[in-house]
Amino acid sequence: MPALIHFTLDPFSRRLRLALAEYGVPVELIDEEPWEPMPDIFELNPAGTLPVYLEDASTALSGIEAITEYLEETKSAQTPLIPGDAFERAEVRRLAGWFDGKFYAEVSEPLLTEKVIRRFLPRQAGGGGPDTGRVRQAMARLRDHLDYISHLVDHRVWLAGEDLSIADLAAAGHISAVDYFGDIPWADYPIAKGWYQRVKSRPSFRPLLADTIRGMAPGAHYADLDF
């Protein structure tokens, strides 16, 4: 069985877990804590980042886009997640890049670093209380992204077009990691909320709703489909 080395709230790992479930590929999950990496993680991925996908004991793939393209080429016979013609596929990739690049830099990374990772790091390695300034800035930028999601969904069925795609799964990976903290102002963004409810209601999403972080309970509505 393939395996995925992942961290519970890592948005890139979440994207691949969703994709594998949508493809119907069972996978063994191997937990990795980014603040205490296992010794051989750099042998599997020289960058030391997650996730790492193991097709078998001798084949390790790393890099979110490389793994995504590999899975689409090898697992998508019945369920393509980069669908459409060349232009439509380009739009899927553009939006996935938006969330994995811009959203991550402005929202996911600062919130996960300040609210989760720093609390587990030793003080000499940067551990301690959160930088509240970074948290406030990330929450302000989150509103811009929720506006953009609302704009996309107001003109399309899914983020990139008529079909569910990697763009939706990338966005959901990031949004769901942030939603774990219970701070997203969903009431101000009903269109984005409706899109997220549709993604959250898919069978592929159920395992993510059972995720927990040691010593950190999820927000009250995290696992609620009718939040």
pLDDT in tens, 80-113: 999 999 999 999 999 999 999 999 999 999 999 9
Q: Which 8-state DSSP code applies to residue 125?
A: G
CATH tag, 86-209: 1.20.1050.10
Distance in angstroms (rounded) separating the CA atoms of residues 88 and 91: 5
- pLDDT, position 36: 86
Place of tokens 């996309």: 152
- 160 with 92: CB under 8 angstroms? yes
86-209: same fold as 3-75? no
Nearest to 130 by CA among 209, 185, 51, 183: 183
Whether residue 57 is predicted with pLDDT greater than 80 in this model: the reply is no
For residue 47, the model assigns a pLDDT of 87
Single-letter amino acid code for the residue at 210 = A
Assigned token pair, 203 = 């069978």
pTM of this prediction?
A: 0.95
Q: For domain 3-75, give the CATH number.
A: 3.40.30.10
Are 32 and 3 a contacting pair, CB within 8 Å?
A: no
Peptide bond into 51 cis (omega under 30): yes
Comparing C-alpha atoms, which of 88, 91, 106, 92 is closest to residue 174?
106
pLDDT score of 121: 87
Residue with tokens 């890592």: 10
What torsion do the CA atoms of 12, 17, 21, 26 make, to the nearest 10 degrees? 140
For the chain, domain boundaries = 3-75, 86-209
What's the pLDDT score for residue 166? 98
Q: 35: which DSSP letter? A: T
Does the pLDDT at position 39 exceed 90?
no
Amino acid letter, 142: L
CA distance 90 to 82: 9
| Rounded to 5°, angle at Cα 177 from 171 and 180 | 135
pLDDT tier at 23, thresholds 50, 70, 90:
very high
Q: Does position 25 have pLDDT exceeding 90, yes or no? A: yes
Are 166 and 96 in contact, with CB atoms under 8 Å apart? yes
Structure tokens at 27: 């996978």
Q: What is the tens place of the pLDDT at every residue in 142-195? A: 999 999 999 999 999 999 999 999 999 999 999 999 999 999 999 999 999 999
- Predicted confidence band at 222 (pLDDT cuts at 50, 70, 90)? very high
| pLDDT for 139 | 98
Distance CA 161, CA 149 (A): 12
pLDDT digits (tens, 9 = 90+) for 113-156: 999 999 988 888 788 889 999 999 999 999 999 999 999 999 99
Average pLDDT value for the chain? 95
Of residues 125 and 197, more confidently modeled? 197
The pLDDT score that the predictor gives to residue 211 is: 94
